[in-house]
Structures are given as structure tokens and as C-alpha cells.
């Protein structure tokens, strides 16, 4: 009886060790980032013969807006984290129309005449009408201006529904330069919407470094992680 009990206990102990080792192995599995998930989705869609790939700005002028900030009815694009709003400048700041309301986002055709601060590619149907958004697009930049603004100051400036570049400048934003900016965007519909951003760089004026990540699956909300050091 004692021998049988000992064998049973030994088997239980071995099973427990195997279970713990299996859990450890699962814990060691690398987590797939949201950016990598979007990258895989892009490659899968690229293999679909229903789409062709266009590069911007070579084949396509790119998004017709200056900065990723907008209030378009229920769709609010404010990438905020712990009291700071992140504003990536998608086109060269010096070229932005000082009278344009940045909250309107799209400035057609004027926005196209400002040089982009990123390049990339997108997938679209071969017979899509001119001006059609891609089903998915990828953009990257290595010298992208990005401004960091106090969210309370920005909210006060936006009360009248207008935010021009001079008004934004007056809020004394911290002006950074992203040495790495990557984004995937599925802009066509609310049901299949996606915006994923990973970026990092420096703020020359303060010698700080920054890093932020954005994930948005609805045009009305963005989840943002931001840190300075």
C-alpha cells in the first residue's frame, strides 16, 4: 500500500512539474505587437489579386491633410495620454496654410502641395475612382515633426471649433522630431477601421526622448501610450 501511494505521489509530482514547465514555455512566447499584427494583415491582403499596391508620394499624393488631429462630427481624432495630446505633422509645417482649420483635417487640393513627412504604400482596387482611400496603407518617416500639447490648453483653444497653426503655436507645444514613425491605417469604414502607430524620437529643445504607441479601432477613440525620459 505504501509503495502504491508513493508511486501515485511521484506521478502527481511529475505531472505538476510538466504542467509548470509548459506554462513557463507559454509565458516565454513573444507577444505580437499591434503594429506587427497590422503588418501581417497588410501582407495577407497584398496577396489578394483584387488589389494593387501603390506607393506614395510616387504613385499617389498621400493623405490630403497636414496633421493627425481632427473633430469631424462624432469622429474625434485627439491622441491624448496623461494630459498631453500628440500631434504628428504629416506634411512640412512651414508649408501649412496658417488660416486653415486643422480640425477639419482634409484640405483638398491645397494639402497635396505640401511635401509629406512620411512615405509609404497602400492597397487599392485597380479600377477605384480617383480620390478613393486605400483599403489599408502603411506609412513611415525618419524625420517627422511631432508636437506635444497640454490637453487643457488645447481644449480651450478648440472651444470655438477652430484651430489654426498660429493658434496651435501659441500653446507653446513641445516640438519633437520622430526618428522612427510607423503606421498602418484602414480608413474606409467605421466597421473595419484601424489606426496603429509606433513612434520614437527626441525633443531638441529639452534634450528629452519620447516614445508613443496608438491603437484605434473606431474613429471616435484612440488608446495612447506616451512616455518621456
- Cα separation, 173 vs 86, in Å, equals 10
User: For position 189, what pLDDT does the model report?
Assistant: 85
The length of the chain is: 229
pLDDT of residue 143: 98
Residue 22: count of CB within 10 angstroms of its CB: 10
First to last CA, the chain: 65
Provide the Cα torsion 204, 205, 208, 214; round to 10°: -80
Instruction: Please give the pLDDT value at position 131.
Output: 84
Q: What residues have CB less than 8 Å from 52, skipping those under 6 apart?
A: 123, 124, 125, 126
Distance CA 196, CA 44 (A): 17
Residues of the chain with pLDDT under 50: 2-7, 9, 11-15, 17-20, 22
Q: What are phi and psi of 151, to 5 degrees?
A: -65, -35
Q: Pick the closest to residue 89 from 156, 194, 177 (CA basis).
A: 177
Task: Tell me how far CA of residue 212 lies from CA of 2, 113, 129, 190, 215, in angstroms.
Answer: 62, 28, 35, 24, 10
What distance in Å separates the CA atoms of residue 207 and residue 215, rounded to the nearest whole number? 27
Q: pTM of this prediction?
A: 0.85
Measured CA angle at 225 (ends 76, 136), to 5 deg: 60
Q: Rounded to an integer, what distance in angstroms lies between the CA atom of residue 79 and that of residue 76?
A: 9
What does the domain layout of the chain look like in residue ranges? Answer: 1-30, 32-228
Amino acid at each position: 500500500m505504501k509503495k502504491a501511494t508513493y508511486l501515485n505521489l511521484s506521478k502527481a509530482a511529475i505531472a505538476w512539474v510538466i504542467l509548470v514547465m509548459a506554462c513557463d514555455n507559454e509565458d516565454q512566447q513573444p507577444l505580437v505587437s499591434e503594429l506587427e499584427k497590422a503588418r501581417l494583415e497588410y501582407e495577407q491582403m497584398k496577396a489578394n489579386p483584387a488589389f494593387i499596391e501603390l506607393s506614395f508620394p510616387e504613385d499617389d499624393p498621400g493623405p490630403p491633410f497636414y496633421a493627425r488631429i481632427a473633430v469631424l462630427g462624432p469622429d474625434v481624432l485627439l491622441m491624448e495620454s496623461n494630459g498631453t495630446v500628440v500631434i504628428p505633422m504629416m506634411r512640412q509645417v512651414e508649408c501649412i496654410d496658417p488660416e486653415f482649420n486643422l480640425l477639419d483635417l482634409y484640405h483638398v487640393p491645397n494639402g497635396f502641395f505640401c511635401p509629406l513627412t512620411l512615405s509609404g504604400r497602400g492597397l487599392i482596387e485597380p479600377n477605384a475612382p480617383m480620390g478613393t482611400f486605400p483599403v489599408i496603407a502603411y506609412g513611415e518617416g525618419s524625420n517627422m515633426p511631432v508636437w506635444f500639447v497640454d490637453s487643457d490648453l488645447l481644449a480651450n483653444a478648440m472651444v470655438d471649433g477652430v484651430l489654426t497653426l498660429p493658434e496651435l503655436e501659441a500653446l507653446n507645444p513641445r516640438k519633437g522630431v520622430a526618428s522612427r514613425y510607423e503606421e498602418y491605417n484602414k480608413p474606409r469604414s467605421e466597421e473595419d477601421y484601424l489606426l496603429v502607430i509606433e513612434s520614437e524620437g527626441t525633443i531638441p529643445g529639452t534634450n528629452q526622448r519620447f516614445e508613443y504607441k496608438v491603437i484605434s479601432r473606431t474613429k471616435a477613440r484612440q488608446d495612447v501610450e506616451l512616455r518621456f525620459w
